[in-house]
Structure 1
Amino acid sequence: MTRPHPLDPLTADELTAGRAILTAEGLLTATTRFPAVLPVEPEKGDAAPDRRVRYTLLDTATGEARDVVVSLTKREVVSTEDCGPGQPAYLFEEYDLAASITKASPEWQAAMERRGLGDRIGHAFCAPLAPGFFGRPDETGRVIRSLTFLRDDESDSPWAHPVEGLIVHINLTEQRVIRVEDEGDVPVPPEHGRYDGVQPRTTLKPIEITQPEGPSFTVDGNEVTWEGWKLRVGFNAREGLTLHQVGFQDRSVLHRASVPEMVVPYGDTAPGRFWISYFDAGEYLLGKNANDLRLGCDCLGVIHYFPAFVADDHGHPVEIPRAICMHEEDYGILWKHTDLDGRAEVRRSRRLVISSISTIGNYDYGFFWYLYLDGTVELEAKATGIVFAGAAHPGTDHPHANEIAPGLFAPVHQHLFCARLDVAIDGERNSLVEVDVERVPMGERNPYGNAFTWKETPLRTEQEAQRFADPAKARVWEIRSAERTNRLGSPTAYQLVPRPSATLMAQPESTVHQRATFATRHLWATPYRADERFPAGDRPNAHPGGAGLPDWTAADRDLTDTDLVLWHVFGPTHIPRPEDWPVMPVDYSGFSLRPYGFFDRNPALDLPSGASDEHCSAHEH
């Protein structure tokens, strides 16, 4: 077995070898399943680290779960620890199990018969959904809920035909129905939700992207070099796409970057939706649900794909052949000036795109990291797919849901992503400063009323660094190096530039607020700790709350001249519209990291002139 780089994703051979070690140690039985299998990344500065894997093992017969760390290097078990509060992520097989338990339930069958839907049971789709946490005495252990949708046939979109008010509560370990709620008699919306079969337009002319001499990037395993950038591309079953050791012009920018969690809380009080608050990484696993990407559809241009391997429910490797797509794309003008004599200089921008897409139930999420020629890093999250809907009588005035098709109502909800940015601006010792634009009152400092300035506020501790974005003040957060200055004597720096959006709308007394406290601020900052990876804690599934960022930052640790990790929350708050049906156009959100005094001058002055390029000819039309 070829030994990979310590930061590389797990390989098929490693997953097979790790499972064999567990078998040899007698840790696996016929009822053992693998909800999560993740690489254990090495400590910073470890020159010869073990290659380790963390296995979460679930006994489906008892519901007991434990974490086992295996050293592939030494071929031994390093540690075994029982899982604490919360449940491991769901297994794929549990989705089918929940559906079979539901359909075998006499109570569910009776509810379908009572609604006059008994003849449609065969094509019913029973959606398995995370239950949140409400402390109900009968909801202990491994619990899931099931909502029912109808299909006209196996090819029909179930999301168009919700059976409103029918909720099945299931204990997966005991394989039984806890209870069935059957409230209301709202008709099932009849209109189909198919989005295929539409006659395509013929007016669009082809756009062809070619690079006759090949792309400008080079790839060595998982290491990428492109126009001054050097980084390692990673992937794991929980977070999906990760970036490591990101540097520009031989200077460090990021040690690690990822989106380790997102929460999708719903704002509807209906019985079938008030409890919905999916943690798509911690409950379902973004990486395990990653798409196999397709050229010309998901990616366009001269493409390099990275494969990924994840473990299935039984711990065996499964390949996602094209889990990550990388390509270059034109991005318009980077800089331009026309001199007084009419002579123009213009340089075109280009960016390196590294992307992955995951499908979690009805929604699809694209994560696109962009690297630019001027040293900027950007993340764009793209939410698309099919909105989650319930039913009501057509024309109903609903305070928490919009009617998007006759009788079909989509509730207001949020998609709140949390990026984890282990920054390393010219080294590991960094400090954090908030920068606001500020008006100057009329007076001696502003005699003409036109003056304004900026205000810098050091964020010295974890409590001080819990911040909100403020577009009225053009607020940014600056990460300054403690090890290097520019030619003007200022610390070299990068700025985190948010695209302001709403934070968690749920009330502080709600259980989703307690479980997703990370989403109540746009910014958190912590000193680096290897075991502080997931902002809602290791196991948000059925967790009562308080884990992750609120727990860690209670210590109010010092952030000055230290190894900083920033946690940035962003994402859309979605009031669905008819145009979102039957499939939703992409909703974009994200942020950027831009150099601020990191360079002494524009780092893109050496780009070739477009004026001598035949594609920039003045004779084009």
Structure 2
Amino acid sequence: MVQGQRSSEHHPLDPLTGEEIDGAVSILTGEKAIGEESRYIKIELSEPSKEALAAYENENQEPERKARIVIRDSSDRKTVEAIVSLTEDSVDSWNHMEGVQPSLTIEEFVACEETVKSNEEWRDALRERGVEDPGLGMVDPWAAGYEFIPEDVDRSKRLAHGLTYLRSSGEDGDEGYSRPVTGLHTFVDLDRMDVVKVVDYGPPDDNSPFPPEEMAYREDDVEFRDDVTAYNVDQPGGPSWEVNGRKLEWQGWHMRVGWTQREGLVLHNIGYEDEGEVRSIIDRASCAEMSVPYGDPEVNDRFKGVMDIGEYNIGRLAKSLSNGCDCLGEMHYWDAAMNTVNGEVNILENAICLHEEDNGTLWERSDWRTDSSEVRRRRRLVVSFVAAVGNYDYIFNWYFYQDASIEVEVRLTGINSVSAVGADEDPSGYKELVAPQLAGPIHQHFFNFRLDMNIDDGPNSLYRVENQPVPSGPEGLDPMGEVDEETLNPGGNAYYADREKITSEGEAKDLIDPLNGRYWQIVNAQETNRLNRPTSYRLMPSGNVKAPMKSDSSVMKRSGFIKYHLWATPFRESERFPAGDYPNQHPGGAGLPEWTEADRNLEEEDIVLWYTLGMNHVTRPEDWPILPAQVYSFKLQPTNFFEESPAIDVPPQHAIRNQDVPDHESG
């Protein structure tokens, strides 16, 4: 294992280094007056345009290196967006973004909790519940949303909605999530760090305001099972990948590994090497937004509906991955250079993990006539990161396979968001008991993945493919009959894969239909394989869920992208996030719902697919006190992209085991 470091190879899509973040701040402060109360919300690469990248690749023209800086001026309650040219040492633009709130920061989380805990009205509310030491309270700042902000609170202010939990002691490691102070809500002005309103609906049970049990899941709290033996992953010859800076190559795959504070892991220039040529598949891929709406109508839970990427910057909430826990075997790590609210460099070590996994059988063929058998093991490359968002932990895995397919997977774990209920209350339906007097509200998680497709360098078109049954004809079934113009299905068995070309954004809005085998195919009609079929990749949905919220609900207004599983748009540089650039405290309507009103053309275009992956969570006691990972995914598979199976040349295990072990340094 070797710590990943930036090599001498430079590429315009590489994230900003710590030195570049320092340089951007220095340039900005040299030209602009940055107030003492201003906060640097994010400093990240302003990615070059596709035209600039084409000039770089084809003509070796280096594009300007630029940083995008978002600042919150707390004293004037203004949000500013600046573009700084690191190449020219100058500020290219400085724009006041009228009426928007940038995403919340970690530092604001900490200051918000301290502000609430020093508020006497909040402390009195704890004392009224029998808490002798209010200092044991802990406060999680939630994004305030829009419609659930109290009417007498100015919505133009930068707000957080504080939820309170009670720790049992002041010891390190003591968590309070098993003891929610249900009924107590605190609204904080983050610009002034003042409590603007405390709302107390009272506990659900006056005689027993807190659930009676504490949570225990840490290593020192649990007696382990003793029948688990060691499982070690050994690669004596080292890993099969090649890494040069941010460039990654593995088993035909080529890509660049990027990072933003908002999205976390970003993959650029995903392609596959075929007969010496790297063929393009995806220009840019990331999880661009999340929505986590709760379905309980009760006053203490119905407001819950956060967008963890746009409102919180999930990259800023990423964790440093540890050897042997989050990944096994040979590993390579990339650090993430980010910033603090003071504009200082913050390096998150081991933010992205790279490793290989055995994944069962790739293909097998046994012939009883010749008594022969061929078996190949399937190996996959894993590029991943993990974000801890309050009580939840999200694991994002991008899997690349030896058959040239891609699987995008999210694993949800951590701790459920819970509420206290009365000792005799049965909340089933909207909530489910996970422990005595402790219930988890029904909720959903939606992840919108932005896939800037580019099959064989485009242009591309989009098709919907699904099973279509065939009418049996006017005379009904005739199993031995002939197929003719009137009777296309004499035996009643016929169906076919119906391919419908999608010509506009309005037609592209779609839901999954597993009963009819629906999938979507992105096609390059100008490139064909030896069978004269256009090259393509298909997006294959797996488990998913429909959003049941009313169309005029706050959730659907603000997270409109969850209405459909698939959206498609023609590429525009400015259209990056499905709920808009600034979803925090936004009333709604921005992003995909707004863009697609134009119903733009999708034929022979540079097409972006937006896939919404959803899961439904009806909680259960087995989800407490720790949530076993809930796993959801979708796949991209080549279709007529190759002349034959790209997995045909994967060697059998005995050939790999018999290889001489070379001198090797991983990474």
TM-score over 0.5 (shorter chain): yes
Q: Which residue among 342, 346, 351 is the counterpart of 1:318?
A: 346
Find the counterpart in structure 2 of residue 575 from structure 1. 618
CA displacement at 1:111 relative to structure 2: 1.8
Find the counterpart in structure 2 of residue 539 from structure 1. 582
CA displacement at 1:589 relative to structure 2: 0.9
Distance 2:297 2:308 in 1: 21
Kept after mapping to 2: 8 A contact 1:157/1:194 = no
Q: Which residue among 31, 43, 46 is the counterpart of 1:25?
A: 31
**AA paired with 2:614?**
G
Q: Which residue among 434, 439, 442 is the counterpart of 1:409?
A: 439
CA displacement at 1:613 relative to structure 2: 6.2
CA displacement at 1:547 relative to structure 2: 0.6
2:524 is equivalent to residue 524 of structure 1: no
Kept after mapping to 2: 8 A contact 1:395/1:403 = no
Find the counterpart in structure 2 of residue 619 from structure 1. none
CA displacement at 1:193 relative to structure 2: 1.3
Aligned residues with identical type, % of pairs: 40
Moved more, 126-135 or 363-372: 126-135
Find the counterpart in structure 1 of residue 478 from structure 2. none
CA displacement at 1:570 relative to structure 2: 0.4
Structure 2 counterpart SS, 1:90:
coil
**Superposition pairs of residues 283-432 of structure 1, within 5 angstroms:** 283-339=311-367, 340-398=369-427, 399-432=429-462
Kept after mapping to 2: 8 A contact 1:10/1:236 = no
CA gap 1:281/1:602 in 2 versus in 1, 3 angstroms = same
Distance 1:86 1:566 in 2: 27
Distance 1:350 1:475 in 2: 27
CA displacement at 1:612 relative to structure 2: 5.2
Distance 2:184 2:431 in 1: 18
Distance 1:316 1:180 in 2: 34
Find the counterpart in structure 2 of residue 618 from structure 1. none
Find the counterpart in structure 2 of residue 189 from structure 1. 211
Find the counterpart in structure 2 of residue 70 from structure 1. 84
Kept after mapping to 2: 8 A contact 1:50/1:73 = yes
**AA paired with 2:457?**
G
2:198 is equivalent to residue 174 of structure 1: no
Cα deviation, 1:362-409, whole Å, max 9, x if unaligned, reads 001111001111110111011110000000013522231111000001
Find the counterpart in structure 1 of residue 551 from structure 2. 508
**Superposition pairs of residues 64-103 of structure 1, within 5 angstroms:** 64-103=78-117
Q: Which residue among 143, 166, 176 is the counterpart of 1:150?
A: 166
Distance 1:172 1:602 in 2: 56
Kept after mapping to 2: 8 A contact 1:125/1:150 = yes
Find the counterpart in structure 2 of residue 247 from structure 1. 271
CA displacement at 1:329 relative to structure 2: 1.2
Kept after mapping to 1: 8 A contact 2:9/2:245 = no
Distance 1:317 1:97 in 2: 20
Structure 1 counterpart SS, 2:256:
strand
CA displacement at 1:572 relative to structure 2: 1.3
Structure 2 counterpart SS, 1:28:
coil
Distance 2:304 2:651 in 1: 52
**AA paired with 2:163?**
L
Q: Which residue among 9, 12, 18 is the counterpart of 1:12?
A: 18
Q: Which runs of no fewer than 5 residues in structure 2 stay unpaired?
A: 1-5, 57-61, 474-486, 659-667
CA displacement at 1:455 relative to structure 2: 1.0
Distance 2:238 2:213 in 1: 48
**AA paired with 2:409?**
E
Kept after mapping to 2: 8 A contact 1:238/1:285 = yes
Cα deviation, 1:295-327, whole Å, max 9, x if unaligned, reads 110000100111111111111111111000001
Find the counterpart in structure 2 of residue 552 from structure 1. 595
Kept after mapping to 2: 8 A contact 1:414/1:574 = yes
Moved more, 103-112 or 531-540: 103-112
Tell me the C-alpha RMSD between the 2 structures. Answer: 1.6
Find the counterpart in structure 2 of residue 282 from structure 1. 310
**Superposition pairs of residues 467-478 of structure 1, within 5 angstroms:** 467-478=510-521
Q: Which residue among 107, 111, 123 is the counterpart of 2:136?
A: 123
2:68 is equivalent to residue 54 of structure 1: yes
CA displacement at 1:503 relative to structure 2: 3.0
Find the counterpart in structure 1 of residue 479 from structure 2. none
Kept after mapping to 2: 8 A contact 1:156/1:193 = no
Structure 2 counterpart SS, 1:518:
helix
CA displacement at 1:80 relative to structure 2: 1.3
Distance 1:608 1:530 in 2: 42
Distance 2:433 2:342 in 1: 42
Kept after mapping to 1: 8 A contact 2:418/2:441 = yes
Distance 2:562 2:98 in 1: 22
Moved more, 37-46 or 572-581: 37-46
Moved more, 534-543 or 45-54: 45-54
Distance 1:611 1:20 in 2: 58
Find the counterpart in structure 1 of residue 239 from structure 2. 215
2:450 is equivalent to residue 436 of structure 1: no
CA displacement at 1:103 relative to structure 2: 2.2
Distance 1:85 1:266 in 2: 27
CA displacement at 1:282 relative to structure 2: 0.8
CA displacement at 1:191 relative to structure 2: 0.6
Moved more, 263-272 or 293-302: 263-272
Q: Which residue among 572, 590, 609 is the counterpart of 2:633?
A: 590
Kept after mapping to 1: 8 A contact 2:15/2:44 = no
